[in-house]
Structure 1
Amino acid sequence: MSVRRTLPQKERSLIGAWCFCDHYGPDDVNMDVAPHPHTGLQTVSWLFTGEIEHRDSLGVHAYVRPGELNLMTGGSGICHSEVSTPSSSVLHGVQLWLALPDAHRDAPRDFQHHVPPTVSVSGCAVRVFLGTLAGSTSPVRTFTPLLGAEVVLPAGSRVEFEVSPSFEHGVLLDTGDVSVEETVLSPGSLGYVGTGRSTLTLSSREGARVVLLGGEPFGEEIVMWWNFVGRTHDEIAAFREEWQAEGERFGRVQGYPGDRLPAPALPGGRLRPRGNPA
């Protein structure tokens, strides 16, 4: 599968609490991701094409479909599997993670599903799956102020959104062409806009689909490795050891016909926090 990891990268580790963005497909592929663990984060699944079957150690059995949000809270520990369904010949979407603030990073396991309505703004189709934009508010609970939305711009369109000046924003270009303010994004790239703006302007010559992410700067250092978000190297190493030992922290996925995914070896040096440049 073609995967573009637009976050984290050298230039930027977080946008608000958004700490991970994998932009994948479209690819004709059968996906089978065995049960694997998470800590200290929420996973946000958003599809453009295809269908994925989700099972987790909370006991949830659900499906990820285009235009529908699935948000899973890992907190102190969870594991889940992801398998494309037989009806899915092509997969195309984004997999996103949200870092949990220190006060809530041991939150209990949770799963939320939401189908956002489509609203029209200056001829653009907007689906708000987290936070508030263009008068549309998602009921999905998060632990920090956030924004997540899909915006489809027709050819020749220009739209100005009112946004919170306390938010920083990222604009991921999925298909077509788009300019953020006056900066043209290349296909598959993520444009960053810092805090202090009360409006955000997008325009497209030939039409585009983008994912708009936003949030208040996170303000905490995090350590990310494999599927874990923590605060120190030793904490991550302990998570890995407990997963390998099949400890109770992560629970078990029922109904997946196969083995769990083993953790890779830790790197030779100590893991360091991911910071953002000024």
Structure 2
Amino acid sequence: MTNPEPDPQEVICTSHDGGAAVEVLTPRDVPLGGPRAMLVRRTLPQRQRTLIGAWCFVDHYGPDHVADSGGMTVTPHPHTGLQTVSWLFTGAIRHKDSVGSNALVLPGEVNLMTGGRGISHSEISTPETDILHGVQLWVALPEHARHTEPTFEHYAPGELTGDGWHGRVFLGSLLGDTSPVVTHTPLLGAELHLDAGTTLDLDVDATFEHGVLVDTGSLTVAGEEVKQGELAYVAPGCATLALTAHDDVRIVLLGGPPFGESIVMWWNFIGRSHEEIVGYRQEWQDQITRDGAVVVDSQDVAPGRFGTVIDDHTTPIPAPPMPNVRLRERG
């Protein structure tokens, strides 16, 4: 998924932002697309919290009636230095990319795309989709992996069940299950459902930061009440994460050790300096522009760092203008 903001701000992330052991982050609405823009609720990054482990971007959307929202129509756009993680609750999205992937994003199945040195892709909800509901997540790649070759993985985790709860682990390890999907820093990603009144004490890695995104219902996370749509940040140090559901609850649990590196994130690019971001933007613009205008058909995109999204004939998304100030570095 692209960052649709017309004037995206730089995001400078450091290894650990400090703060309370548990803090609750509220979302802001961001329109995705044109006049009938689908709204997404963004809880990460925020001014006070920019990373949870290597997780650097959390968009939460739906349930939306596609007839009203227009669905998801994200035409070809570029990425560098990150992995995208697509996880759906309802609906279906067609993913295509410049390494030749053509796959459906379906409920309960994870699609992970590694942008690495550069990739382009598109995501468009299928004509059969009536209700669209899910999350789109980004993971920052560490220095040793950020120039890796782009790749794509798909995995359908099995369902785990217990007394008053069930769930699926799509990245990392939890509840005795481990995902085989390749990540470049330790990560945790899981969907969990708790029946009203259920308390679940999760054994977790005490070196991890955790994020609990509440999709439906409300619950208490490590003693702090978290409502629908909010994201609870839990600092490292807890080997057990206590969850108590006030209602029937669905959450997405994210985690990872503090990232330990500084990054600059602007639009769809993650780099380490102002110059890198400027260079990535210019390379994308050069690929999609002919005679001063953006090409209409993505099959006319020139060869280059980001490649061509195979079998996609929609118009690529041009990059917004760079801000009038230098993107800062912090290390």
Give the Cα separation in 1 of the matches to 2:191 and 2:250: 7
Matched, 1:76 2:113: no
Alignment of 1:258-269 (within 5 A): 258-269=314-325
| One-letter identity of the residue aligned with 2:261 | E
Residue 144 of structure 2 aligns to a residue whose secondary structure is helix
* 1:173 and 2:214 aligned: yes
- Alignment pair present for 1:14 and 2:70: no
Residue 178 (structure 1) shift: 1.2
Q: What are the superposed Cα offsets for residues 176-213 of structure 1, whole Å, 9 maximum, x if unpaired?
A: 11110211112201001111110001111211000000
Per the TM alignment, residue 145 of structure 1 is displaced from its structure 2 partner at its CA by 0.6
Match of 1:27 in 2: 64
1:226 is matched with which residue?
267
Q: Answer yes or no: is the 8 Å Cα contact 2:217–2:227 preserved in 1.
A: no
Pairing 1:2–2:2 present: no
CA distance in 2, matches of 1:271, 1:126: 40
Match of 2:6 in 1: none
Tell me, yes or no, if the aligned pair for 1:224 and 1:273 is still in contact at 8 Å. Answer: no
User: 2 CA distance for matches of 1:145 and 1:121?
Assistant: 25
Any conservation in 1 of the 2:204–2:239 contact (CA below 8 Å)? yes
Q: 1:268 to 1:89 in 2, by over 3 A?
A: same
The equivalent of 2:278 in structure 1 is: 237
Alpha-carbon separation, structure 1, partners of 2:237 and 2:79: 33
Matched letter for residue 240 of structure 1: R
Deviation (angstroms), 1:4: 1.0
User: What is residue 271 of structure 1 aligned with on the other side?
Assistant: 327
C-alpha displacement of 1:2: 2.4
Match 2:198 to one of 136, 157, 160: 157
- The list of structure 1 runs, each at least 4 consecutive aligned residues, that deviate by more than 4 angstroms after superposition, is none
Tell me the CA shift for residue 126 of structure 1.
1.7
Report what 1:91 is aligned to.
Answer: 132
SS of 1:245 mapped into structure 2: helix
Q: How does 1:86-125 map to 2 (within 5 A)?
A: 86-125=127-166
Q: Confirm or deny: 8 A CA contact 2:187 2:256 kept in the other structure.
A: yes
**TM-score normalised by structure 1 residue count:** 0.97
- Name the Cα RMSD after superposition: 1.2
Match of 1:27, SS state, is: strand
State how far apart, in whole Å, the 1-side matches of 2:325 and 2:166 are.
Answer: 47
Please state how far the C-alpha of 1:25 moved relative to its aligned partner. 1.2
State the distance in 2 between where 1:189 and 1:274 align.
28
- State the Cα deviation string for residues 16-35 of structure 1 (Å, max 9, x = none): 00000001111123221110
The equivalent residue for 2:88 is: 47
CA distance in structure 2 between the aligned counterparts of 1:131 and 1:34, rounded to whole angstroms: 30
**C-alpha contact 1:224 1:274 (8 A) present in aligned 2:** no
Gaps of 5+ in 1: none
Partner Cα separation in structure 2 for residue 273 and residue 153 of structure 1? 42
Q: Percent identity?
A: 58
Does structure 2 retain, via aligned residues, the 8 Å contact 1:154–1:204?
A: yes
Query: CA 1:253–1:147 in 2, change beyond 3 Å: closer, same or farther?
Result: same
Is the 1:122–1:158 Cα contact (8 Å) retained in structure 2? no
Pair 1:256 & 2:319 matched: no
Task: Report the residue type matching 2:43 in the other structure.
Answer: T
Question: Counterpart in 2 of 1:126?
Answer: 167
Q: Does 1:137 align with 2:178?
A: yes
Q: Distance in 2 between matches of 1:258 and 1:158?
A: 48
Offset of 1:253 from its aligned partner? 0.7
CA shift in 2, pair 1:33/1:274, >3 Å: farther
